[in-house]
Amino acid sequence: MPVAVGVAALISGGTPLAHAGAGRPPGAVITVYKSATCGCCAKWVEHVRATGFQVVVHDTTGLSGIKERYGVPKNLTSCHTAVVDGYVVEGHVPADVIARLLRERPELAGVAVPGMPAGSPGMDSPMPARYAILTFDRAGRTAVFAHR
């Protein structure tokens, strides 16, 4: 494993996902919908790629329509929306949490980090905030999946 990938994952509190049995199904591709001008979205894409996920990016000006299409509750929105293996990933969700989602396969629509909390992947900050990663179902019910 490249040292930089392993160290970056461990510093961020995650585990390196780039090697065998890494916690994600072979061929899992994250499709991301974001604004072409959003720097934090681009950094989040770099984060998930660095942990071994394949990422397809679609720059769009129609993010509200994407969020509506995938059933993201309005109170959970962030600056980008992604889909992976039947799940919606809204906002700056850490890659290891996405891997956990794919490994555990819970009955839900997706996971979200509402807003843009300081210190979440792509939102570098010298003063990171504590934040929750939430699940949501098709009816809009939410629950806490993880904390950072």
* Residue 18 belongs to some domain of the structure: no
Residue 11 banded pLDDT, cuts 50, 70, 90: very low
Q: Which domain holds residue 94?
A: 3-13+24-147
Quote the CA–CA distance of 148 and 12 in Å, as a whole number. Answer: 10
Give the residue from 47, 63, 67, 58 showing the smallest Cα distance to 119: 47
143 forms beta bridges with: 135
Q: Is the pLDDT confidence value at 35 over 70? A: yes
* CB neighbourhood size of 107 (10 A): 7
* Residue 122 belongs to some domain of the structure: yes
What confidence tens digit (pLDDT) does each residue in 65-118 have? 999 999 999 999 999 999 999 999 999 999 999 999 999 999 999 999 999 999
> In the structure, how many helices (H) and strands (E) does the chain have?
4, 7
* Residue 117 belongs to some domain of the structure: yes
| Out of 4-8, 76-80, 122-126, least confident range | 4-8
Q: Is the pLDDT confidence value at 7 over 60? A: no
* Residue 107 belongs to some domain of the structure: yes
* Residue 69 belongs to some domain of the structure: yes
Answer yes or no: pTM beyond 0.75.
Answer: yes
Q: Is the pLDDT confidence value at 43 over 90? A: yes
Alpha-carbon distances of 147 from 27, 120, 134, 143, rounded to whole Å: 27, 11, 9, 11
* Residue 9 belongs to some domain of the structure: yes
Q: How many domains does the chain have?
A: 1
* Residue 19 belongs to some domain of the structure: no
Residue 27 banded pLDDT, cuts 50, 70, 90: low
Quote the CA–CA distance of 93 and 139 in Å, as a whole number. Answer: 21
Q: Is the pLDDT confidence value at 25 over 70? A: no
Q: Is the pLDDT confidence value at 129 over 70? A: yes
